[in-house]
Amino acid sequence: MTLTALSHDALEETRRRLQPYLHRTPVLTCSALDERAGRRVFLKCENFQRTGSFKLRGALSALLQLPPDELARGVVTHSSGNHAQAVALAARLLGTRAWIVLPRTAPEIKRRAVAGYGAEITVCEPTMAAREEATQALIDATGAHLIHPYDDDRVIAGQATAALELLEDHPDLDVLLAPISGGGLLAGTALAASRRTPSPRVVGCEPALADDAYQSLKAGVIVRQPAGPTMADGLRANFCERTFAIVRALVEGIVLVTEEEMVEAMRFVWERMKIVIEPSSAAAVAPLLFRPEVVGGRRLGVILSGGNVEFPLSASGQPPARRPEGARPVSRR
């Protein structure tokens, strides 16, 4: 993998290929957030994307480039939820089968969505080793093609299209912020930014309880560690060599955020902007509320990665076992 493998032309071709299938998600602003951060903030709302997250971009990008015979055999992936939904819908849109490996800790809202798109679900233990073992077993049994959540140039190019759209709408941004897990979104965001002159700086945002990306950049090598106990279920994966190379070369750094800061960021966005974001998205908003001086810049772009969150949400990221006495149920309509 080289940084030139995903050229500007390749990214633009990916965007054209995806356009018939995707929503052009809005870029919203909030005067209360601007005041709190002390600068202008522009939020790319991938929580409004089909499936409720940016992941459909990468999944469709990969499936649309499969040879017809491979596509006909179906696709398989492992995911904590958002990529699973994306692959399931992409497969349905393109008329093929999808087999999805979900950890047993995946939020129920994401599991229901995957099933609703018609994919076949295999549940495994919440470890990367278990996910990969179950995925390989499905590949061996079905002949399906693996759509990796981030270790794939086609997926990274798809994720880059969110930042391409944001920078097309607001070309004068100083800094772009995006959450990081396995690195597909952040790598794609950095590639999109690097194709512009002048290039905005790119900053990753990660939970302190799952800081493997931060530790990897600090060490200069990939640090693999078990998924941390963060409520941001979408930010528990580790780098691969492909995403690490891009992030190490093009991303300025990673800001760590606490669980409490993510909760406050979700509350702030929900209350002030009246839109729903999930904890993974909140990781990219929290630095603006609590450490804006670390981020710098005057005009900031934020990728709100998704809005698939189970209600009611506890500090553990899971619904409570029972409602508190006197609590009213939350509508899911």
Which residues are part of the catalytic machinery? 55, 80
Nearest to 316 by CA among 242, 234, 232: 232
DSSP 306: B
Peptide bond before 312: cis, by omega within 30 degrees of 0? yes
Measured distance CA(2)–CA(97) in Å, rounded: 32
Burial of residue 55 (number of CB atoms within 10 Å: 0-12, 13-18, 19+):
buried
Please report the beta strands in 166-224, taking only residues with DSSP state E, as ranges in sequence order: 175-179, 201-207
Measured distance CA(196)–CA(169) in Å, rounded: 13
Helix, strand, coil percentages in the chain from 3-state DSSP, rounded to 5: 50, 15, 35
Query: Which residues, 6 or more positions from 216, have their beta carbon under 8 angstroms from its beta carbon?
Result: 222, 223, 239, 244
